[in-house]
């Protein structure tokens, strides 16, 4: 495809006369859309982090005025700068929602998936470029709705990111805006998922068989299936909760519900448990949506920087697919204390134990891939290596929560918060940072600064653990996750409540540790060291395209002749053989 042949003159015009708006704002180029997603995701990650830093003030110093910004928050949120519990709830609910649906998913799936996957497949673009654009703008609208809900008279949604009914049905805050925002976000994910799967099935370059796909592509495909099949039930649930709020129906409201000492005037007959089932039917697969792309990124970076093929590529792929299937039948392990019955609990704790097996296989394979490699400790590799033990801690602390007997005392404590933050914060986020450092040269044509990268990694590793490890200790002492004052008013929390200050200071230091990244990111766009097509000496196909790649991606025909990770092949004159290298005969 040296010079793309145009079918009609109309196409020619489209190709050359792109206005600024068509090229950068309403672009149909998967790479521009990927960058749009990534930047949106990073911005929302930062915003969600800011919400948390404000919350952490009240946890560490309950009842004291918030410094600097306390007076800006307004009398209905923080009178005299002292945070009201209602406002704390808003921050908590929106932190979760934003981090999951507007931070990690757009960056991991929308950003990396969009930018990298077509390049790795050797495709010129996504299968449906216009749907791709619409998908991003749906996400944008959802983000705007969520952000704007803070300025509603009664504030943003404050019923937890899980929005449990019946509280969420009758709360006066911005739950309605939350639901409308979610419907936009769900639509965005659905369109994206259809696009990803079709692209992977149809647009692989000649010779790119399924078992030659880079592991990252496999992760994106399984993720897309999870989004495709798990999100619609939440959309249904969202519509029903919206009806409960605006049409006074009683889908999730039981009969005779007493609110504020009075029986609620509703027909009743609904089931609060139904919401939990519908919600977790999405939200458990969603956990895998957060972690699988991260595993994909880590696998790419580890293979590249250990200069070795991935150990057990096939078993990793099969584990991934098995993980995807299983993730649909574990959801009720979030509901052990709802009284759904011990038969249900037995079933779901069994499936939960089973699903840990493929995760362990993948993690073990990644560890073994390091064995005997001549490892390059560059910034992407540091983050990838950081991911392994951090995700390990997150995964293993999840096992007690998957057994109903052990879950009952631990449910809704800080132990749960510690567990899943180890998975998604030093786990997924580290993998995403690895991805940013790793593919930055492909996006901009320049590498990010190595020294600032190290200055970003080491403090982040320390402070991440400073924030999340004490949560485990607090949780084992029984401190509930829902306390705006960090448990100071409860006796049993007395001895561990002091840890809150350490965690809060760690969180703020973690923010400082991100400054090198922000400087590095913007500085390297213009002043970074120039990178050629393949700065990391990598095998996969995306590195055969120019950096930055033009609309249409490749300036040569891609014919794949070998597997994705042919590093250090004996007898080869260099230590990597690109996937599209002609087979030597």
Partner 1 sequence: MEIPYTVEAHPETGLNNGKIGIWLFLTSEVMLFGALFATFIMLRIGSDGNWAAMQAEAELNIPLATLNTAVLIASSLTMVMAWASLMRGQLGRFKLFGWATVGCGGIFLVIKYFEYTAKFEHHHYPESNTFLAIYFAMTGLHALHVIGGMAWNAYFTGPGSKLFHTNRQWLTDRVEHSGLFWHFVDLVWIFLFPVFYLL
Q: Which residues bind partner 1 (CB under 8 A)?
A: 4-8, 11, 15, 123-129, 131, 190, 193-195, 197-198, 201-203, 228-233, 235-237, 239-240, 243, 247-251, 266-267, 269-271, 274, 277-278, 281, 551-552
Q: Cβ closer to partner 1: 162 or 465? A: 162
Query: Smallest gap, in angstroms, from Cβ of residue 559 to partner 1?
Result: 14
Measured from the CB atom, the residue of 131 and 569 that comes closer to partner 1 is 131
Q: List Cα–Cα distances, 472 to 61, 129, 131, 284, 500, in angstroms.
A: 20, 45, 43, 21, 12
Complex with partner 1: residue 27 or 40, whichever CB lies closer? 27
Nearer to partner 1, 131 or 141 (CB): 131
Q: Which is nearer to partner 1, 52 or 335 (CB)?
A: 335
**At its nearest, how many Å lie between partner 1 and the CB of residue 271?**
5
Q: Residue 440 and residue 117: Cα distance in Å, rounded?
A: 15
- Distances in Å between the Cα of 125 and the Cα atoms of 55, 343, 523 are 42, 48, 29
Query: Nearer to partner 1 by C-beta: 191 or 298?
Result: 191
Residue 413 β-bridge partners: 480
Q: Are 320 and 225 in contact (CB under 8 A)?
A: no
For the CB of residue 352, give the shortest distance to partner 1 in the complex, in Å: 21
Which residues pair with residue 259 across a beta bridge?
A: 262
The helix or strand, by DSSP H or E, that contains position 258, with its residue range, turns out to be strand 258-259
User: Please, which residue, 267 or 374, has the CB nearer to partner 1?
Assistant: 267
Give φ, ψ of 446 to 5 degrees. Answer: -135, 150
Q: How far is the CB of 228 from partner 1 (least distance, A)?
A: 5
Residue 65 or 129 with smaller CB distance to partner 1: 129
Nearest alpha-carbon partner for 465 in 510, 432, 429, 399: 510
Closer to partner 1 at the Cβ: 195 or 538? Answer: 195
Query: What is the smallest separation between the CB atom of 201 and partner 1, expressed in angstroms?
Result: 6
**How far, in Å, CA of 473 to CA of 462, rounded?**
17
Query: What's 109's DSSP letter?
Result: I
CB of 232 to partner 1, least distance (A): 4
CB 291 within 8 A of CB 424: yes
Count of CB atoms situated within 10 Å of the CB of 159: 21
Query: What is d(CA 471, CA 477) in angstroms, rounded to the nearest whole number?
Result: 10
Q: What is the Cα–Cα distance from 253 to 273, expressed in whole angstroms?
A: 10
Say if residues 103 and 167 touch (Cβ distance below 8 Å): no
Of the pair 208, 434, the CB lying nearest partner 1 is at 208
Token readout for 37 is: 């997603």
What token pair was written down for 353?
């134990």
Give the nearest distance from C-beta 477 to partner 1 in angstroms. Answer: 37
Q: How far is the CB of 575 from partner 1 (least distance, A)?
A: 33
Query: Rounded distance, CA 18 to CA 35, Å?
Result: 18
Helix, strand counts (H, E) of the chain: 21, 2
Tell me whether residue 233 or residue 312 sits nearer to partner 1 (CB atom): 233
Do the beta carbons of residue 420 and residue 334 sit within 8 Å? no
Shortest spacing between CB 104 and partner 1, in angstroms: 21
Least spacing, CB of residue 197 vs partner 1, in Å: 6
Residue 9 vs 570, nearer CB to partner 1: 9
Residue where the block lists tokens 């949106």: 40
Angle formed at CA 19 by CA 16 and CA 23, multiple of 5 degrees = 85
Rounded to a whole number of angstroms, the minimum distance from the CB of residue 168 to partner 1 is 16
Q: Is the CB of residue 320 less than 8 Å from the CB of residue 222?
A: yes
Helix-helix angle 30-60:430-444, to 10 degrees: 150
Beta carbon nearer to partner 1, 29 or 300: 29
Residue pointed to by tokens 């099935």: 201
Q: DSSP character for 204?
A: P
Query: What burial letters (b/e) apply to 576-585, b meaning 16+ CB within 10 Å?
Result: bbbbbbeeee
Q: How far is the CB of 5 from partner 1 (least distance, A)?
A: 8
Q: Are 198 and 127 in contact (CB under 8 A)?
A: yes
**In angstroms, what is the minimal distance from the CB of 127 to partner 1?**
4
Q: d(Cα 283, Cα 560) in Å, to the nearest integer?
A: 37
């Amino acid at each position: 495809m040296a010079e793309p042949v145009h079918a009609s003159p109309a196409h020619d015009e489209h190709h050359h006369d792109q206005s600024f708006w068509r090229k950068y704002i309403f672009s149909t180029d998967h790479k521009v859309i990927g960058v749009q997603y990534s930047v949106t995701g990073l911005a929302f990650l930062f915003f969600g982090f800011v919400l948390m830093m404000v919350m952490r003030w009240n946890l560490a110093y309950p009842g004291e005025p918030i410094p600097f910004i306390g007076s800006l928050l307004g009398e209905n949120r923080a009178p005299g700068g002292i945070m009201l519990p209602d406002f704390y709830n808003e921050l908590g609910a929106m932190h979760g929602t934003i981090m999951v649906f507007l931070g990690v998913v757009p960056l991991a799936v929308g950003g990396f998936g969009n930018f990298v996957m077509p390049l790795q497949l050797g495709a010129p673009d996504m299968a449906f470029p216009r749907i791709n654009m619409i998908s991003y703008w749906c996400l944008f609208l959802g983000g705007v709705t969520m952000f704007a809900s803070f300025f509603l008279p009664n504030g943003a949604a404050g019923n937890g990111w899980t929005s449990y009914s019946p509280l969420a049905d009758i709360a006066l805050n911005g739950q309605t805006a939350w639901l409308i925002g979610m419907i936009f976000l769900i639509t965005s994910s659905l369109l994206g998922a259809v696009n990803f799967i079709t692209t992977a099935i149809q647009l692989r370059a000649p010779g790119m068989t399924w078992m030659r796909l880079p592991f990252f592509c496999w992760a994106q495909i399984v993720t897309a299936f999870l989004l495709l099949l798990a999100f619609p039930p939440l959309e249904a649930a969202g519509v029903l909760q919206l009806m409960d709020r605006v049409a006074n129906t009683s889908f999730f409201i039981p009969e005779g519900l007493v609110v504020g000492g009075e029986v609620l005037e509703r027909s009743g007959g609904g089931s609060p448990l139904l919401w939990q089932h519908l919600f977790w039917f999405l939200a458990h697969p969603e956990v895998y949506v957060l972690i699988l792309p991260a595993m994909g990124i880590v696998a790419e970076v580890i293979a590249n920087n250990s200069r070795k093929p991935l150990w057990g590529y096939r078993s990793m792929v099969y584990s991934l697919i098995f993980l995807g299937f299983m993730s649909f039948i574990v959801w009720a392990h979030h509901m052990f204390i709802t009284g759904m019955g011990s038969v249900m609990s037995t079933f779901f704790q069994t499936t939960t134990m089973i699903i840990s097996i493929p995760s362990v296989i993948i993690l073990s394979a990644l560890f073994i891939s390091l064995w005997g490699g001549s490892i390059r400790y560059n910034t992407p590799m540091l983050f990838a290596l950081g991911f392994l033990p951090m995700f390990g801690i997150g995964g293993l602390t999840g096992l007690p929560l998957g057994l109903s007997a052990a879950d009952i005392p631990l449910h809704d404590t800080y132990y749960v918060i510690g567990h899943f933050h180890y998975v998604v914060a030093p786990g997924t986020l580290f993998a995403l940072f690895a991805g940013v450092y790793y593919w930055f040269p492909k996006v901009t044509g320049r590498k990010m600064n190595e020294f600032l990268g190290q200055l970003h990694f080491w403090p982040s590793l320390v402070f991440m653990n400073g924030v999340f490890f004490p949560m485990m200790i607090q949780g084992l002492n029984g401190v509930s996750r829902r306390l705006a004052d960090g448990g100071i008013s409860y006796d049993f929390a007395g001895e561990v409540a002091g840890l809150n200050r350490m965690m809060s200071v760690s969180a703020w230091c973690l923010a400082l540790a991100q400054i090198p990244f922000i400087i590095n990111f913007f500085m390297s766009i213009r002043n970074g060291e120039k990178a050629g097509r393949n700065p990391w000496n990598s095998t996969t196909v995306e590195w055969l395209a120019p950096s930055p790649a033009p609309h249409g991606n490749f300036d040569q025909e891609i014919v794949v002749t070998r597997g994705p990770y042919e590093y250090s092949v004996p007898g080869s004159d260099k230590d990597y053989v690109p996937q599209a290298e002609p087979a030597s005969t």
